[in-house]
Amino acid sequence: MEGIDSQIATWLTRRYPVEEPYILPQDQRDSLNRRNEVFQRLVSEFPVSVGKEASRKEREEKTFENNSDSTLTYGEVDFISIGEVFYTIEHRFKCLPKDGVFYDLGSGTGKGVIAGALLGTFTTSKGIELLEGLYAISEQIKVVYDQNFPAMKNENQDLWPVSSSVEFINSDFFKVDWSDASFIFANSTCFDHSMMQRIGQVKLRHGTIGISFTKTIPGNNWIVLESIKKNMSWGEATVYIQRYADTAEIERVAEQLKEKPVIENEDLE
């Protein structure tokens, strides 16, 4: 079974009626722009070309077990675009985790992890990256973040009443335990079907949020809340916002549906 039963998915998502992309009101747009200014200051020494070259060089020199060349293709998130997704999760769906751990699966030079730290209120933001060259750059970005963000935070207390620690791991993310995640991010445009299947099989906590690109996270527990087209370093990508529902909730809904199936266009309560 590729995904959650359609009747159950409809029941679980009907509290989130979506007709148009979420439009940030001016105060939210202003706060996102301020976060972006800080992000750009933190990563200015590491343009996308640095990551692309490090990725290309290592992929040419090495062979990686269980990873095709395409799954290691390098691309970077656009901060404003991913920020709009975070604001959508927080203000439209009201389910942005307030703490916990953010994971970037295949974190590249670490910019996605820094974005997670600046856009959420996670206790820790972690990145897992297989390529040593990209991991080494992420460790440099971590130094910049650790040295400079505390002062930036103090200048913007309204944006960051608390700060997230940042951590990077040089490994295959299937060899790391990330089952404690409250939020996972996968820049998955070049991930193959097998990789997405394995991601979808990881048992996570109820309510964990997932963002993936181009492909949904498959599996019986993942519910798609919305898909949005956003610009990234390589062009436009479809971004999927998903939520993990534990087995207990799914079984409870299945029992309720036996008594009262979902009726199309039924009024939401």
Q: How many CB atoms lie within 10 A of CB 266?
A: 12
Nearest CA to 242 out of 262, 213, 264, 269 is that of 213
User: Amino acid identity of 133?
Assistant: G
> What integer pLDDT is reported at residue 11 of this predicted model?
55
Nearest CA to 75 out of 186, 226, 197 is that of 186
The pLDDT of 60-76, averaged and rounded, is 59
As a whole number of angstroms, the distance between CA 232 and CA 78 comes to: 5
Per the structure block, which two tokens stand in for 32?
């996102």
| Domains identified in the chain and CATH numbers | 6-259 (3.40.50.150)
> What integer pLDDT is reported at residue 72 of this predicted model?
52
Question: pLDDT of 92-151, one tens digit each?
Answer: 989 999 999 999 999 999 999 999 999 999 999 999 999 999 999 999 999 999 999 999
Q: How many CB atoms lie within 10 A of CB 3?
A: 16
- Count Cβ atoms within 10 A of the Cβ of residue 30 and give its class: 0-12 exposed, 13-18 middle, 19 or more buried: exposed
As a whole number of angstroms, the distance between CA 253 and CA 12 comes to: 8
Per the structure block, which two tokens stand in for 65?
């077990």
> What integer pLDDT is reported at residue 263 of this predicted model?
47
Q: How confident is the model at residue 255 (pLDDT cuts 50, 70, 90)?
A: confident
Q: In the chain, what's the furthest Cα-to-Cα distance?
A: 60
259 has a pLDDT exceeding 90: no
Question: pLDDT of 149-165, one tens digit each?
Answer: 999 999 999 999 888 99
As a whole number of angstroms, the distance between CA 204 and CA 80 comes to: 28
Nearest CA to 31 out of 176, 160, 205, 149 is that of 160
220 has a pLDDT exceeding 90: no
Instruction: Give SS3 for 17.
Output: coil
Instruction: Write the DSSP string, 188-206.
Output: -TT--HHHHHHHHHS---T
268 has a pLDDT exceeding 60: no
Query: Which helix (H) or strand (E) covers residue 225, if one does?
Result: strand 222-232
First-residue to last-residue Cα distance in the chain: 30
Question: pLDDT of 171-195, one tens digit each?
Answer: 999 999 999 999 999 988 788 999 9
7 has a pLDDT exceeding 70: no
Per the structure block, which two tokens stand in for 259?
């008594």
C-alpha 82 chain-centroid distance: 8
217 has a pLDDT exceeding 50: yes
